[in-house]
Chain A
Amino acid sequence: APSTDQQELFCQKLQQCCTLFDFLDSVGDLKSKEVKRAALNELVDYLSTNRGVLVENAYPEITNMISTNIFRALPPSDNPDFDPEEDEPTLEAAWPHIQLVYEFLLRFLENPDFQPSIAKRYIDQKFVLQLLELFDSEDPRERDFLKTVLHRIYGKFLGLRAFIRKQINNIFLKFIYETEHFNGVAELLEILGSIINGFALPLKAEHKQFLMKVLIPLHTAKGLSLFHAQLAYCVVQFLEKDPTLTEPVLFLSFLPLKAHCTRLVIRGLLKFWPKTCSQKEVYFVSVQFSAISVCYVMLVMFLGEIEEILDVIEPSQFKKIQEPLFKQIAKCVSNPHFQVAERALYFWNNEYILSLIEENIDKILPIMFSSLYKISKEHWNQTIVALIYNVLKTLMEMNCPLFDELTASYKAQKQREMMKEQERDELWKKLEELQVSRASEVQNNSHGSPAALNNNNSNNNNNEPQESSDDVEATAVIMEDLHQDTTDIACENVSCAK
């Protein structure tokens, strides 16, 4: 057909493809479905083999056809407890058509005649927003198309970039703090990975905020293992761009390191959408149970990421962070789960980290020593004990006199710790007695309640009732000691932090 007719036909086919079919009904409209599939195929072919197809009035027709077909409310999951790590995803029933529409969308965006200046009237914020919502699709094939599509749009529409970043931000925050459910986190992170790569230096405040307030908290979210690789890539990208971020990032990432269990605990019953789930109790039990196993899996993943970060760290940054860092590593080494301890001990196989440790051995050895020493005597797993011996040996070779000194003072230090423990117990005991006596004073003053009540109260907490004045004095003495102690510690803390 002549080219004008072709253009006419193209638009007609586009309109024809706006008819939607019900794919849940697998027997209905078979013929019409086939016609549409063929038409879509023709459209894809036509767009990729001909030049000059994308005239200005084709744009609204094209975007309309695409919007009509792909922008839909995603259906509720067939499986209300869908666990992306365990279960098979529900696939999109209308895929035979939708796939071709995505194909067409990509050809459209990648077409050499494609003009963003015209397209931006149709591919606008609303279009992008609906596209982003589709990333929650359970169908991995659809998410894969979306990833490429969004990447192309980000590349071609400069005016939409900030908007896209902000909306991804919102999706992540909703995922972390509200729903704990979004299927496309990994895909979005993958796009972000390359976006971050292209950030200009110095980094804008907006980007740094994204790193600190979104990417780091993402580490505490459910299903981390599904997107951890992409997330770690993004973080490392940031740090390679701007090494001064290493310190705050590592500092912040200790929070998730410690908090991930807490989070699971305080959140308690997880909120999830479809309410037709009939086995909530069973589910809850399994959530609690898996919380424990999730914890160590996450710890192992974190340690992996920290090693990645240490691989690119500058020695000057390392110095700033070494103290809190190795306190955490010491804790991981002492973790009763052998995989966590093992992962932490693997740091000593890394040449670069080893050189950093050696450079700062006088600071690091005192932090690590007591944990390593204790574990070498106590850990139940023989592999860990063997690894510990190797690490201790390495450390000893780095600074022998210091090592000997620490060994000698180990016992004394243990004793000091025990003493402190006892003091703490004492203190709280005294403090509670004090509370009881204060409470009864208040009671006596305000209500003039009988002394019997007073006695009752103190009997509950303490078997031998004491005169409250003695009590206060005794507390005062002990507390004075402790007060000095704490001021020392407080000073120490300050000097460490700076």
Chain B
Amino acid sequence: MAGADGDDSLYPIAVLIDELRNEDVQLRLNSIKKLSTIALALGVERTRTELLPFLTDTIYDEDEVLLALAEQLGNFTMLVGGPEYVHCLLPPLESLATVEETVVRDKAVESLRKISQEHSPVDLEVHFEPLVKRLASGDWFTSRTSACGLFSVCYPRVSSTVKAEIRQHFRTLCSDDTPMVRRAAASKLGEFAKVLELEYVKTDIIPLFTALASDEQDSVRLLAVEACVSIATLLPQEDLETLVMPTLRQAAEDKSWRVRYMVADKFSELQKAVGPEITKNDLVPAFQNLLKDCEAEVRAAAANKVKEFCENLPEDNREQIIMSHILPCVKELVSDTNQHVKSALASVIMGLSTILGKDNTIEHLLPLFLTQLKDECPEVRLNIISNLDCVNEVIGIRQLSQSLLPAIVELAEDAKWRVRLAIIEYMPLLAGQLGVEFFDEKLNTLCMAWLIDHVYAIREAATSNLTKLVEKFGAEWAQNTIVPKVLGMANDPNYLHRMTTLFCINALSEACGQEITTKQMLPVVLKMSNDQVANVRFNVAKSLQKIGPVLDSNALQTEVKPVLEKLASDSDMDVKYFAQEAIS
């Protein structure tokens, strides 16, 4: 076995077999994950003749191992000798595409789709397409489900006879006995339509679409709605009315809320696909109905689309449609019984102001914003506040400030810390829009109060909020308003608050600049090195390290260094460690 390529590579396959048969799943998984190593060691020929047949035969393993295998094989083309031999990967992937576990099957299909692109047109017909056919006529539903995802990747590159066969197989699967298969086919209908010639879209896809959209199972019907978007995009405008619209109208009024939900969820896409005329005549009333639907799920999905829908209306009579058809529904939604609906609306309603302009906003929208700002559900209020910038552009935020303040204060003190956290994140934005005076007067106290919140995440967010405020209002403002308060906390009896001082200093030093840092902050930090709580002391060390670059070298040498040296001989291990870290 002197060095010839073939001989030394005999062994890795033995290793693999051993590892693959190991009782320990983890070991099997490891060896599968290193499959490319083994293939590389084996060389392309032995990978093809020994490794792949072995893998094909041993597909009985646990899903986790199979998933790894399915993924690996998608990247194996070079390891079997390039595109010329890529079809060798088909047998193991075919088996994987028939297993029960959806995740594994989907991965196998994904890999098959990937390597299909590496097949030559001839190989595609000789090897790949027969595989698709076998899967499509498999006994158990899993293989037929997998086949649905493979038609569209081979269709464009095969001869017209084979194309006809593929279309026939797809038709068959669309009326499969098993709902799982019909769902898979329905979910690939749009994708398949895209690769078909227009005449076949009309003769083949439309009847399938109509049938799936009136399937007995709502889980199939709702997938047809998704396909509707792609199909409508493909057809010329004059055919839409007869071929697509009857089905779409029916879906928008389906008895199952899931289907109506899907229509609402896809509304913007549908709107673009069918064009302005149909939108005016058909979609506007349909949208009104969805906004008034009896299920909250559906109303919420539709409410989410209000802005996009209005934006995409044809400009010539956009304002008129919104004012007379959409706005009345929106007004009702503001006082909906379901908080998800209100909150969905609140996340987009502000966007209407740019579309409707200043006068309409003040007259019609402002009262709605104000109502939502007072809503009982914090999420609704938060969504309004987080979108203030849209309104600001149109009418200025002052119009709202009277109602804004109580809303902010209430959110700032909400019992749920996630709500408090969310409002903190909008503070810099609000501060920018409301101006420094208003801020000092009304909001500053809140920002400082968050520094002593009992939840760490809030204190942390409050700290970084201060940094952003300083960046906005400047160092001088910081010196006058927040630095004294922050430094005052250094004497707080609660060590957590004392540490907050340090964290604030860490965050603020850069924005405040050398002078404030050296003259005001540094003395406080240094003083805190005598704190009796070790956590404070090692945070002093960390702070000194952090603010070091902002300080001048004189202060570093004469003030910082001695303190760090003292801390480096502290009795506490952690303090020592961080002091030494800081020194170096």
Residues of A within 8 A of B (CB): 72-73, 75-76, 126, 129, 170, 173-174, 176-178, 213, 217, 255, 258-259, 262-263, 265-267, 273-276, 278, 327, 424, 427-428, 431-432, 434-435, 438-439, 469, 472-473, 475-476, 479-480, 482-483, 485-487, 489-490, 493
Contacts and interface: CB of A to CB of B under 8 A. Distances in A.
B499 interface: no
16 contacts: A73-B218, A76-B257, A126-B216, A174-B180, A176-B100, A213-B140, A255-B62, A259-B64, A274-B297, A431-B15, A472-B8, A476-B7, A479-B10, A479-B14, A482-B11, A485-B18
Nearest to A420: B18
B23 interface: yes
Given A435-B37, A486-B17, 11 more contacts: A73-B258, A76-B257, A259-B62, A259-B63, A276-B296, A479-B12, A482-B18, A483-B10, A483-B14, A489-B18, A490-B21
Q: Which one of B7, B67, B179, B183 has the greatest number of beta carbons of chain A within 10 Å? A: B179
Contacts of A267: 103
B240 interface: no
A438 B21 contact: no
A482 B64 contact: no
A121 to B, nearest CB: 19
A438 B183 CA distance: 46
Contact of A75 (B102, B179, B257, B344): B257
Shortest beta-carbon contacts, A-B, top 8:
A479-B11, A276-B340, A486-B18, A483-B14, A262-B64, A73-B256, A76-B297, A435-B37
A213 B101 CA distance: 11
A169 to B, nearest CB: 9
Interface string B203-225: 00000000000001011000000
A267 B543 CA distance: 43
Q: Which one of B19, B27, B265, B297 has the greatest number of beta carbons of chain A within 10 Å? A: B297
Given A266-B64, A327-B23, A486-B18, A431 B12 contact: yes
Contact of B62 (A262, A427, A476, A479): A262
Contacts of B21: 489-490, 493
Nearest to B179: A170
B102 A178 contact: yes
Size class of the contact patch on chain B: 35 or more
Contacts of B19: 424
Contacts of B256: 73
A177 B63 CA distance: 13
A202 B423 CA distance: 69
Interface of B: 1, 3, 7-8, 10-12, 14-15, 17-19, 21, 23, 25, 27, 34, 37-38, 40-41, 43, 62-64, 67, 100-103, 140-141, 178-180, 183, 216, 218-219, 255-258, 265, 295-297, 300-301, 340, 343-344, 379
A276 B297 contact: yes
Q: Which one of B15, B21, B216, B256 has the greatest number of beta carbons of chain A within 10 Å? A: B15
B398 to A, nearest CB: 31
Contacts of A483: 10-11, 14
Contacts of B258: 73, 273
Contact of A486 (B7, B14, B102, B183): B14
Given A469-B3, A490-B21, A173 B141 contact: yes
Contacts of A266: 63-64, 67, 101, 103
B40 A476 contact: no
Given A126-B216, A170-B179, A276-B300, A217 B37 contact: no
B444 to A, nearest CB: 30
Nearest to A476: B8
Contacts of B12: 431, 434, 479
B41 A434 contact: yes
Nearest to A481: B11
Nearest to B15: A427
A72 B62 CA distance: 40
Contact of A435 (B40, B101, B179, B219): B40
Nearest to B139: A209
Contacts of A276: 296-297, 300, 340, 344
Contacts of B295: 75-76
Contacts of A265: 64
A43 B27 CA distance: 67
Contacts of A475: 8, 11
A428 B18 CA distance: 12
Contacts of B64: 259, 262, 265-266
Contacts of A435: 37, 40-41
A274 B12 CA distance: 50
A214 to B, nearest CB: 10
B17 A173 contact: no
A273 B344 CA distance: 17
Nearest to A71: B255
B100 A213 contact: yes
B3 A482 contact: no
A373 to B, nearest CB: 18
Given A73-B257, A170-B178, A263 B63 contact: yes
A26 B19 CA distance: 66
Contact of B63 (A129, A262, A273, A472): A262
A434 B141 CA distance: 43
Q: Which one of B14, B180, B216, B300 has the greatest number of beta carbons of chain A within 10 Å? A: B14
Q: Which one of B27, B63, B102 has the greatest number of beta carbons of chain A within 10 Å? A: B63
A355 to B, nearest CB: 28
A173 B180 contact: yes
A258 B25 contact: yes
A218 to B, nearest CB: 11
Contacts of B340: 276, 278
B101 A431 contact: no
Contacts of B25: 258, 262
A178 B103 CA distance: 10
Contacts of A472: 3, 8
Q: Which one of B21, B41, B62 has the greatest number of beta carbons of chain A within 10 Å? A: B41
A76 B40 CA distance: 53
Nearest to A167: B179
Nearest to A72: B255
Given A177-B102, A438-B40, A170 B180 contact: yes
B14 A482 contact: yes
Contacts of B7: 476
A140 B125 CA distance: 54
A274 B34 CA distance: 40
Contacts of A428: 34
B11 A129 contact: no
A265 B256 CA distance: 32
A273 B138 CA distance: 30
A275 B255 CA distance: 19
Contacts of A480: 11
Nearest to B107: A266
Contacts of B100: 176-177, 213, 217
